[in-house]
Structure 1
């Protein structure tokens, strides 16, 4: 199903008063000779994202010893990465095969909703992982009761539903703008860039935007608070330091990659249109859709011992040596 078909199925929600129905994505300029090479690299990257994430997801699902909160959260982080990249790569690959790079207004809002709700989901799941490590290391005696099966699934449900709700409100208020332009200077759509095309802004959109900022600022506070307590606890015990190195370093690496991606995206929104080269602008635009989805499963797959050993057992299954019985 294309973005246009999916958006049309939503009815009249994604419409605007100006009558603009098609937007142009002008972030990519290339010659015809580079089209095949760029398509091949992009397709290879997308297939790599699917491969590494599916391997980790299936490893966690199939191994019952990995059905613990930390690994369940990790599995959902990978699923969310696949969800977010599905909002970009199919459309971008089709654009590379087309002579025009346009998208319907409804499809643009839908693409923005998928990509940015996935980013919000990353923040929520990474926050849950930080809190899980805090309880496991700082309060180990109550870990099973605090991170019970019912609570884990409730928290996971919220980590999916709340970002979807936040971005739905943002998308609905954005769709009500009257547009005075039709060109988006990026490889994909974002509500912020659509807002820049609006003839005027609305109070409702500003309220939703500030609510979302406050909501995710609270996530950042929980992460910082968790790591302050984790570091304090690790200073008191060699065993806790070992647990921190085994499970928190990979989480910190994922947080760092995501923070870098968000910073580059903010730089793009603030400076990208004028102060940087086209190549660096494109890198800033897509880094959040390339580096974290590829690196997260690799980081956790190599760093977490139980996951690494299980994957290696699939790749290199232990050989059974035959037993020969003979007469004496």
Structure 2
């Protein structure tokens, strides 16, 4: 008989139950509002170019990723019933891994496992949390998942683009003696790399802490920061520093204000 558990209990939420729901609500609203650039790009034909479409896709990904995580965490923090069905948990884990570019097919290793436990020591469902429910030996799954993650991170387009990006910025700063240009280039480079490194290290820290028996609170914090920080900073870095997009946004808001005055 398959001893697969039908209900999974979310634990380690109580320690954040006092102030976190309000903070998450504000953060979720800020992410959705700050990604107004999507609407501007859709409305303005002149902005429908590869660079702006890339920003639009990034914003949509931020919204979907945070919508998959934050409402559920807020609901669990405010409710006494913190259970979640197995199907819903697998679905959330699939969306989490897809959103963070950790391929969803890894979950195929999880769905067929026999489950002996029903307590997830995490703030949301992910692949590693589902592995821990199994009564089977999942060492090979952990090794494969860690190896795959290392290969994915080191060979990802983000890593390659970041190294290329740094090389080009440094080359420009060395070959051109324009202080204003160098200052702007370094400022842009620093902000882009900061968000990328935060996303990279919080995600990697969460993966490592899943494989050792300490640091549950730190892992939860790293998992939350992985979604919150890039989602809040991406619109600022990729939209607010883009001159054409700022001009179009100002024009749209001015038109709206004039219509309201009439």
Q: Shared fold by TM > 0.5?
A: yes
Q: The residue matched to 2:116 in structure 1 has which SS? A: coil
Q: Distance in 1 between matches of 2:55 and 2:16?
A: 40
Q: Given that residues 177 and 201 in structure 1 are in contact (C-alpha distance below 8 angstroms), is that contact kept between their aligned partners in structure 2?
A: no
In the alignment, what sits opposite 2:4?
Answer: 19
Q: Distance in 1 between matches of 2:203 and 2:236?
A: 23
Q: Given that residues 181 and 197 in structure 1 are in contact (C-alpha distance below 8 angstroms), is that contact kept between their aligned partners in structure 2?
A: yes
Q: Distance in 1 between matches of 2:257 and 2:131?
A: 61
Cα RMSD, aligned residues only: 3.4
Q: The residue matched to 2:68 in structure 1 has which SS? A: coil
Q: What's the TM-score, normalizing by structure 2?
A: 0.80
In the alignment, what sits opposite 1:61?
Answer: 42
Q: The residue matched to 1:188 in structure 2 has which SS? A: coil
Q: How far off is 1:30 after superposition?
A: 4.8
Q: What's the TM-score, normalizing by structure 1?
A: 0.65
Q: How far off is 1:48 after superposition?
A: 1.6
Q: The residue matched to 1:316 in structure 2 has which SS? A: helix
Is 2:151 aligned against 1:214? Answer: yes
In the alignment, what sits opposite 2:56?
Answer: 75
Q: The residue matched to 2:8 in structure 1 has which SS? A: strand
Q: The residue matched to 1:298 in structure 2 has which SS? A: helix
Q: Distance in 2 between matches of 1:72 and 1:172?
A: 32
Is 2:137 aligned against 1:200? Answer: yes
Q: How far off is 1:257 after superposition?
A: 2.0
Q: Given that residues 261 and 284 in structure 1 are in contact (C-alpha distance below 8 angstroms), is that contact kept between their aligned partners in structure 2?
A: no
Is 2:158 aligned against 1:176? Answer: no
Is 2:227 aligned against 1:289? Answer: yes
Q: The residue matched to 1:72 in structure 2 has which SS? A: helix
In the alignment, structure 1 segments of 5+ residues that lack a partner are 1-15, 121-162, 321-328
| Structure whose CA Rg is larger | 1
Q: Distance in 2 between matches of 1:254 and 1:31?
A: 30
Q: Distance in 2 between matches of 1:244 and 1:75?
A: 27
In the alignment, what sits opposite 1:28?
Answer: 13
Q: Distance in 2 between matches of 1:58 and 1:300?
A: 15
Q: Distance in 1 between matches of 2:225 and 2:142?
A: 27
1:138-160 deviations in Å (ceiling 9; x for gaps): xxxxxxxxxxxxxxxxxxxxxxx
Q: Distance in 2 between matches of 1:26 and 1:318?
A: 46
In the alignment, what sits opposite 1:303?
Answer: 241
Q: How far off is 1:73 after superposition?
A: 0.7
After the TM superposition, which residues 126-205 of structure 1 pair with which residues of structure 2 at under 5 Å, given as runs? Answer: 166-167=103-104, 169-198=105-134, 199-201=136-138
Query: Aligned pair in 2 of structure 1 residues 92, 208: CA closer, same or farther (>3 Å)?
Result: closer
Q: Distance in 2 between matches of 1:206 and 1:310?
A: 49
After the TM superposition, which residues 28-107 of structure 1 pair with which residues of structure 2 at under 5 Å, given as runs? Answer: 28-30=13-15, 34=18, 38-53=20-35, 55-107=36-88
Q: Given that residues 162 and 193 in structure 2 are in contact (C-alpha distance below 8 angstroms), is that contact kept between their aligned partners in structure 1?
A: no
In the alignment, structure 2 segments of 5+ residues that lack a partner are none
Q: Given that residues 55 and 239 in structure 2 are in contact (C-alpha distance below 8 angstroms), is that contact kept between their aligned partners in structure 1?
A: no
Q: How far off is 1:52 after superposition?
A: 1.0
Q: The residue matched to 2:80 in structure 1 has which SS? A: coil
Of 194-203 and 283-292, deviating more is 194-203
Q: Distance in 1 between matches of 2:8 and 2:53?
A: 39
Q: Distance in 2 between matches of 1:63 and 1:192?
A: 43
Q: How far off is 1:47 after superposition?
A: 1.7
Q: The residue matched to 1:177 in structure 2 has which SS? A: coil
